[in-house]
A and B are shown apart, each in its own frame.
Chain A
Amino acid sequence: MIPLLELCSVGKVYPGGVATRALEEVSFAVAPGEFVALVGASGSGKTTLLNLVGLLDTPTEGSLRLAGRDVTGAAEDLRAELRRDLLGFVFQFHYLLPEFTALENALMPLRIRGTAAEDAGRARVRALLEKVDLGDRLHHRPGQLSGGQQQRVAVVRALANDPQVILADEPTGNLDSRNAHAVCDLLRSLTKELHKSVLLVTHDETIAAKADRILHLRDGRLVT
């Protein structure tokens, strides 16, 4: 099976007075529908790796393939398009737009793509929100939702554009234990149901244990 996401000897060095090596010789692949957790201590390079995979940053070494396509040196506009069409993001903080309702926030990746995409995907996104028990909160603004509800909207937003890979950066880090597990279970069940790959960054071993596979990062290197 062709991996959906493939990293080959990826490295990242931040230039400066003293160059900082954040990642070194990182290689792994994520298969379609696979739920992978990336675990490591603070400063181990988890977020750097997620930023590279999320095409928010570019590696200084190695290559990165997404959906069979080499995207290592993709230009900024192409990376934006790939993020929009192939990737879904869930962040530690929900980062919902306070001026928009829950439904509009969830629809935002489609709205970015265009009016036709938004109109075509509206029913699906509405159904996803109902599935995560937000059917009666569709027209509420983020300020009118609880932390758990906000993060559930963020999960639906990550799935709105029907991406192939979901990248989740400490999505439960800002939630209490009960909500954290609920959101993680939701993420897992939805992505399994929709056959999406997930790369979840966490420092919580109990959350990581829900993944199909766990990758450990230490000082910028994979140790698993």
Chain B
Amino acid sequence: MLISRFELSVARRQLLHNRGQTLLTLGVVATSVTLIVFLATLIGGLQRRIIGDTTSMIPHVVVSAPERLPLAPWELPSATAPAAPLFVGRVVKLEQRLRKIEDWPAVVARLRELMPGGVAARVAVAEGQGVVSRESNRKPVTLVGAVPAEFTRVVDLQSNLAAGRYLGLNGGEAVIGYKLAADLNLRLGDRVRVLSSEAVSADFLVAGIVDTGIAVIDRSSLFLNLKDAQSLLNLGSAVTRIGLRLDDVFDASRQRERLEQYLPYEINDWMRDNQRVLSGIRAQNDSSRMIIVFTVLASGLAVASIMVMSVTRKIQEIGILKAIGAKSRQILVIFALQGLAVCAAGAALGCAVGWVLCDALGRIEVVVSATGRTAQLFPVANEPFYYGLAAGLAVVSGVLASLYPAWSASRVDPIHVIRGQ
């Protein structure tokens, strides 16, 4: 057997006998684990919040109709081709007309074929510009129409409601941002008039007020059901875009590149539109990794120096054990076991302290908007992965750090000890 009663008993007794030193080592490891847990959960939580704030109110991938370009002369149908040569000097945008996806159910079906997995939800959206007015007040808004049950699976509107409802929104009802509501002095049940960019107008009942924390939505968005938006925007049965929510938010660029190969539509993803956010997250990741590496290194060195002290203090016992027949390997195992045991116990203690600390910090909430919406002051991601990471790093570094003292213990020459040198 690799580890016998001899190694186990000597390792255990020495740890228990030298309580002060054992507790000191345990404290060093526990402190480093707590630090790593705190740092990792905080950075992880912070990143999750940034990603969440960035992506919760937008689809991860958006499919929209391509921008319409004038045809080149050689592309014109022969029946309508002019007799005289045409001068083509620059691309001119056509009049401001909404880019429509006419046969969107077929596009959704095609998307299902192309992306059999990895997509959490899809929604067809009719979106355009308009003006909302109440009495003499007028405000420009973005009109967003969709089937609420589908929309809220892609864009988290429902959980950001400050009042009223979005799911089950009927024809003639709308949900507005709380800042827009304040600007127009609107409350639930009030009526507003909406005039679209297509010069179609209609009255809507305010059925919900939303507080997303994103100013552009809270101040200038009006959410309708799909049919109302299609009517206001003269879309018929068409929509302007199809939004997708992915299971893995960071898979967006890959999925976009793939869809671009198969669909004749303009496709965007949140990662391409938020390069600065992503580079900030990458920098944060690099910084936290460096801090963790230095923490692990410091902890390992501390464990190593305490273990070296231990070996120095125990040198007589080591020498006598070798004199009466213990092999170098057995001595090495004794000290490696001590390193493993102390690091494992320290890691467990550090995880416990870290959990209590992170849990307490995660409960602190602060009000972040006028509607009374609260958010965590410390957005900790108190997840097992981070604890496993911290404990694993501490145990591995501790055991590695104890190997040198263990090795030097195994090299002790019993003669020197017996002579008292």
**A→B interface (CB under 8 Å):** 47, 51, 54, 56-57, 76-77, 80-81, 83-85, 88-89, 91, 93, 95, 97-100, 104, 108-109, 111-115, 118, 157, 161, 169
* Chain B nearest CB, measured from A87 CB (Å): 8
CA distance A100 to B9 in the complex (A): 9
Q: In the complex, are the beta carbons of B322 and A98 less than 8 A apart?
A: no
Further 10 A-B residue pairs, CB within 8 A, beyond A56-B415, A77-B328, A157-B324: A56-B414, A81-B327, A84-B326, A91-B320, A95-B319, A97-B317, A99-B14, A99-B17, A100-B9, A111-B6
- With A112-B330, A169-B418 already in contact, the answer to whether A56 and B323 are too (CB < 8 A) is yes
Q: In the complex, are the beta carbons of B414 and A76 less than 8 A apart?
A: no
Residue of B nearest to A113 (CB): B325
Q: In the complex, are the beta carbons of A111 and B9 less than 8 A apart?
A: yes
Residue of A nearest to B420 (CB): A93
The 8 closest A-B pairs by CB, nearest first: A84-B325, A99-B13, A99-B17, A95-B320, A111-B6, A80-B327, A83-B325, A115-B5
Question: Is B316 part of the binding interface, using a Cβ–Cβ cutoff of 8 Å?
Answer: yes
**Interface residue ranges of B1-25 to A (CB < 8 Å):** 4-6, 9-10, 13-14, 16-17
Question: Is B419 part of the binding interface, using a Cβ–Cβ cutoff of 8 Å?
Answer: yes
Q: In the complex, are the beta carbons of A112 and B415 less than 8 A apart?
A: no
Q: In the complex, are the beta carbons of A114 and B4 less than 8 A apart?
A: yes
Q: In the complex, are the beta carbons of A98 and B17 less than 8 A apart?
A: yes
The one of B9, B16, B323, B327 in contact with A89, judged by C-beta atoms closer than 8 angstroms, is: B323
- With A47-B419, A111-B6 already in contact, the answer to whether A100 and B324 are too (CB < 8 A) is no
Number of B positions contacting A (CB below 8 A) = 28
Residue of B nearest to A98 (CB): B17
CA distance A112 to B413 in the complex (A): 18
Q: In the complex, are the beta carbons of B418 and A100 less than 8 A apart?
A: no
Q: In the complex, are the beta carbons of B17 and A91 less than 8 A apart?
A: no
Residues of A within 8 A of B327 (CB): 77, 80-81
Residue of A nearest to B316 (CB): A95
Question: Is B50 part of the binding interface, using a Cβ–Cβ cutoff of 8 Å?
Answer: no
Q: In the complex, are the beta carbons of B324 and A89 less than 8 A apart?
A: yes
Residue of A nearest to B13 (CB): A99
CA distance A118 to B325 in the complex (A): 14
Q: In the complex, are the beta carbons of B321 and A108 less than 8 A apart?
A: yes
Residues of B within 8 A of A99 (CB): 10, 13-14, 16-17
Show 22 A/B contacts (Cβ-Cβ < 8 Å), sorted by A.
A51-B418, A56-B323, A56-B413, A80-B326, A81-B325, A83-B325, A84-B324, A84-B326, A91-B323, A99-B14, A99-B16, A100-B13, A104-B9, A108-B6, A108-B321, A109-B324, A111-B5, A112-B6, A112-B326, A112-B330, A113-B325, A161-B325
CA distance A47 to B327 in the complex (A): 22
- With A95-B320, A97-B317 already in contact, the answer to whether A80 and B325 are too (CB < 8 A) is yes
* Chain A nearest CB, measured from B6 CB (Å): 4
Q: In the complex, are the beta carbons of A112 and B328 less than 8 A apart?
A: no
CA distance A69 to B44 in the complex (A): 66
CA distance A91 to B323 in the complex (A): 10
* Chain A nearest CB, measured from B410 CB (Å): 10
- With A109-B324, A109-B325 already in contact, the answer to whether A115 and B4 are too (CB < 8 A) is yes
Residues of B within 8 A of A111 (CB): 4-6, 9
Q: In the complex, are the beta carbons of B17 and A56 less than 8 A apart?
A: no
B contact face: mostly helix, strand, loop, or mixed: helix
Residues of B within 8 A of A157 (CB): 324
Residues of B within 8 A of A47 (CB): 418-419
Residue of A nearest to B9 (CB): A111
**B→A interface (CB under 8 Å):** 4-6, 9-10, 13-14, 16-17, 316-317, 319-328, 330, 413-415, 418-420
Q: In the complex, are the beta carbons of B326 and A57 less than 8 A apart?
A: no
* Chain A nearest CB, measured from B338 CB (Å): 12
Q: In the complex, are the beta carbons of B324 and A57 less than 8 A apart?
A: no
In the complex, which of the residues A80, A88, A89, A118 has the most CB atoms of chain B within 10 Å of its own CB atom?
A80
CA distance A195 to B255 in the complex (A): 86
In the complex, which of the residues A47, A51, A76, A112 has the most CB atoms of chain B within 10 Å of its own CB atom?
A112
CA distance A81 to B324 in the complex (A): 9
- With A56-B414, A56-B415, A56-B418 already in contact, the answer to whether A80 and B17 are too (CB < 8 A) is no
Residues of B within 8 A of A95 (CB): 316-317, 319-320, 418
In the complex, which of the residues B6, B14, B322 has the most CB atoms of chain A within 10 Å of its own CB atom?
B6
* Chain A nearest CB, measured from B10 CB (Å): 8
CA distance A113 to B4 in the complex (A): 9
* Chain A nearest CB, measured from B328 CB (Å): 7
CA distance A84 to B323 in the complex (A): 8
Residue of B nearest to A76 (CB): B328
Residue of B nearest to A77 (CB): B327
CA distance A108 to B9 in the complex (A): 10
Residue of A nearest to B325 (CB): A84
The one of B323, B413, B420 in contact with A54, judged by C-beta atoms closer than 8 angstroms, is: B323
Residues of A within 8 A of B323 (CB): 54, 56, 83, 89, 91
CA distance A217 to B373 in the complex (A): 94
- With A91-B418, A99-B13, A99-B16 already in contact, the answer to whether A112 and B324 are too (CB < 8 A) is yes
CA distance A42 to B7 in the complex (A): 37
Residues of A within 8 A of B326 (CB): 80, 84, 112
Q: In the complex, are the beta carbons of A108 and B324 less than 8 A apart?
A: yes
Residue of B nearest to A158 (CB): B324
CA distance A91 to B322 in the complex (A): 13
Residue of A nearest to B330 (CB): A112
Residues of A within 8 A of B319 (CB): 95
* Chain B nearest CB, measured from A50 CB (Å): 9
Residues of A within 8 A of B13 (CB): 97, 99-100
* Chain A nearest CB, measured from B415 CB (Å): 5
Q: In the complex, are the beta carbons of B418 and A112 less than 8 A apart?
A: no
CA distance A51 to B323 in the complex (A): 10
CA distance A114 to B325 in the complex (A): 11
